[in-house]
Each structure stands twice: as structure tokens, then as C-alpha cells.
Structure 1
Amino acid sequence: MRNVLKYTSVLVTAGLALSVAACSSSGSSTTGASADPDKALVVIASPTPHAQILDYVKKNLADKAGLKLDVKVVTDYVTPNTAVQDGSADANYFQHVPYLDDFNKKNGTDIVSVEAVHLEPLGVYSKKVKSVTELQDGAEVGVPNDATNEGRALKLLADNGVITLKSGAGTTATVQDIASNPKNLAFKELEAAQLPRSLGDLDAAVINGNYALDSGLKPATDAIVLEKAEGNPYANILAVKKGGEDDPRVRKLAELLHSAEVKKYIDDTFGGSVVPAF
């Protein structure tokens, strides 16, 4: 089943990548200080909350600031970076720095962070228990299977006494780095986007905030464990290919994303399920 899901994801990703490339074929992908400020800035983003926040900026702030914004929505964690790297998009908004660092290392890309915008607290969700202490021996727990989010999920479980991790296990920890597992939990490593849909078949799952929101979950109230915002390195960022940070359109978008209006929009719209990082 996992192979079928991954194959479907590849097909969808390929289609989206072609769509993004076609939309930017008019030459709007020239970035850096020499970029034409009159051309639309193409930003590729996850649906929730990233594209929602960008749509708010586009509808309420961009015109007044003299910024043309073209928002493209994708649902996977690969297309946004490959599109920025190959020039199909000018910027993306979907990831945190640990994920970006790992992606650059594995793929030889040179994408950089411009600004941190918000944090989506990672949460543990369950339809069967109301506390992690209620998980039974041998319970099945889903975790994201991408490098940094799996480590982040395991750290959240360790911070709440469910497991312990080996000394030195960092942001790329996997289930192989679990030092003790008192309840003999069975960990199911799934694509992050599949976890909300698999929740009914699992005893619990650690789900990224954007996918939780997409599926109708409210992290602030539905999670049985939720990440703390203080000192959290996983704030989501506006990112560009190296050199693109000098693009005046990118600088303008970064300013708008850090505006008081956007902060209020995030607070009012997401009620603590998404937290401004500025």
C-alpha cells in the first residue's frame, strides 16, 4: 500500500511541476537584484496555512506595496524546492530550516532562507485515546517518514516520556535511534501527507500542523500533545535559490509577511494552531 501511495504522489508531483513550469515560462523566474520588479513573483506553497497567508497578502497588501504575486499551490514536500532550484518558481513557502538543510545536502541544491514567518506546532493525535499515557502495550503510532520531521516527531514523543532517544540523536533521528520503548510501540513510518488519512487505522499519529489543518483537525484543541513554540527551530520560512534574496520583489514580500496585518491575520484565523514567528 505504501508503494502505491508513493507512486501516486510521484505522478501528482510531476503534474504539478509541469503546471508550475508552464505558468512561469513567460520568464518571470529571473531573480536577484536584476529581476524585473514589474513581473509577478511566482511563489509555490503548501495549501494550509502557507497559501492562505499568501492569498491574504495578495488580496489586501500587495497592490498597495506595488507587488504582483502569483501563488501556486502544491501538496508535497519536494516540488516546491525543485521548482525554485530549476527556476520554475521564484520562491517557496512551506518548510523549516532543518528540512531545507537536509534537502540541500541530499540533492545538491542551493536554496536559502529569507525570513521565518510562522510555526505550525507538530502534534500527536488519536481517535482512540485522550492522552499518550493511555496508549496500550504494542500500540501502533504513525510518524512522518521524511528525515527531519521524523526526528522532530520522535523528539516530541521523547519530550513527553513516551520513548527515550539515544544520546546524540539529532533532528534526523529515526526509529533506529530509539533507546527505550517501554510500551513496545510499533512505529509506522508514512509520508507526512498520509498520516491524517491513516489516523483511524492507527492508535495515534504525529502529524504536521499544515496537514492537520488540511484534514479538519484543530491543533490547539485536538492534539493530545502539542509542540511548544518557545525556542523551536522549526519555524516555516520564505525561501529562494541563492541570490534570489536580493530580488526587490522577494524583499518586499518578506516585509509584508512580517507586517502587523499578517500577524493579526494569523492570530485571528488560526487561533493558536499557527503561531507567528516574528
Structure 2
Amino acid sequence: MKQDANEFSSFAETIASLGSLTKLESAMSAAIKSSRVPAKETRKMLKCMSIQEAGNTALFQFMRDLFEKVGVGQLVLIRNDIFRYDFAIDNSPVCKLYPHVKGKKTCYITAESLSQFFTKDLGLPGTAEEIACQNAGDNRCEFAVSLQPLAVYQLALDQLDKTIIGSVIDGAGPDKISESLEMSRDEIIFRMNILKRYKILDDDYQITEIGETYHKYGEGMGGDEEEFQPPWKDMAVISNAISASTSFAEAFTEAASQEPLWDVEEKDIVNLAEQAKKSKSFAELLSKQVKSDMEE
């Protein structure tokens, strides 16, 4: 029972782990603030037909480098459905912050970071959850990001897609659309296959019920898109933001490690570890501890 409550084994280990978690949270928060991605770059990934194609986009490569630089590990894209993206991390550094946890998922901070990145930097609101974890006995940590369909449709389809949809509704086939838009037939077919993937067109390149609904109600969504430089053009700005954000966490960890441990009672160590297990952030843990002190 005592071992289950004290997931960090010792008070010193607890402080070190909390300091590392605080540093990760601060670094990710700073990185997300500096990493907003232009809609046209997000659209390139949303339109990818395969995992390999999506993994080769500038956006995913930036995302992979960003998460590794922050310290949560290297992301691998393992699924790219139209409303869901799954990622894996081998040998997750976050898992190592909970060395005594067995049979439970522990990488909430990675899941929350993915959710925040998609929502704030890509303009794609959704939820993220850890679906596999090394600390739960799985081979690696895996995360599922589920996106709001309306936001995906709003961002994934551009003006040319809307023109093609309108032409199909008017009865035009690939050849006629190719001629009217002065584009090659192969390019039109490529575009129409993406519309099939998004359930706008059926296998015969005819409009679906979803396509008709989108044409009627969804084409006015979005408005003008803001043009700005993608964040990977200047990684130095992000690196500086991450570095500055972690200074407090490092100072906290160093100061805490110098505190005498012999005045701490065993019940306090167990209680702190128990609260850490139930808290989603260092700020939440600190709030609980302050409240507890005030009540005593």
C-alpha cells in the first residue's frame, strides 16, 4: 500500500521528478506560443493520402523536432485518418519520470501537449489521449488525436476544391473540369481522390450527401487566411523561448534539492507523492499543498 502511494520512492526523487515535469510544462507552453502554423501548411498535411506522405511534410517534421527539443521524445506518425492522427514515442522520457509506476498510463503531459499544439498552432480543435504506455506494460507510448470534423473541413478544402465540387454538382466530369480549369486530367483526378477521401465525392466521382451539405452550408466558412512565415523558418526564436521558460523550473529544482530532508516526516512524503499522482500539473499540485497547509 505504501509503495503504491509513493510512486517516486523518496522525497528527493519526488522533488527532482516534479522539477522535471515543471520544466517540461514550461518548455511546451513557450514552444506552443511561438509555433503558430499558416493554414496553407496545415492543409498540406490534412490532404496527405498516406502516413508516409504526411510524415514527409514540413509541418510534421517541424512538429517532430519541436517535441523532441522540448523533451517529451521523438514522435512517429502511425495513423492519419481525416479526423484522427495517432503518434508513437519509443523510450518516452516522460515515462522515466515515474520509475516506480507499473500498470498505469503516465504521459498525460504529452497527450495534453499534442492537444494544445493542434488546437492553438494548427487551428484544429480536438482531444488527445494516451492509448498505450510503457509504464502500463505496452511496448511504447501511443497517443490518439481526435479532431472536430467541422474544423477539418473548414481548413482542409481550398477554393479550387470548392470550384471542383460546384462543377461536379453542375454535372461536369473530370475531363470537362480539366478543360474549364486548364489543368491536366491527372491533377484533377488527384484532387477528386482527396475529395473522395473526405466523403465529398463517391467512388464514381459523384457528389455525396455530405458533399451537397458542404456545398450548401460550408463553402462560406473560413474567410480570408492570414499569411505569415511558418515557424520552422526561424527555430532560433523557439529555442530561445524554450530556454527562457525553463529557467524557473531549474532554479526551483536546485533550491529544493538543497533543503534538509531530516525534518520531513514520512507521512508528508507519502502524501506529496499521492497528490502528485492525482495532479495534472505542478501548478495544481502546488495549489493542493497550499490549501492543505491553510486547513491545518
- The TM-score normalised by the length of structure 1 is 0.24
Give TM-score, length-normalised by structure 2: 0.23
Higher share in strand: 1
Q: Higher Cα Rg: structure 1 or 2?
A: 2
Task: Write 1 or 2 for the structure with the bigger share of helix.
Answer: 2
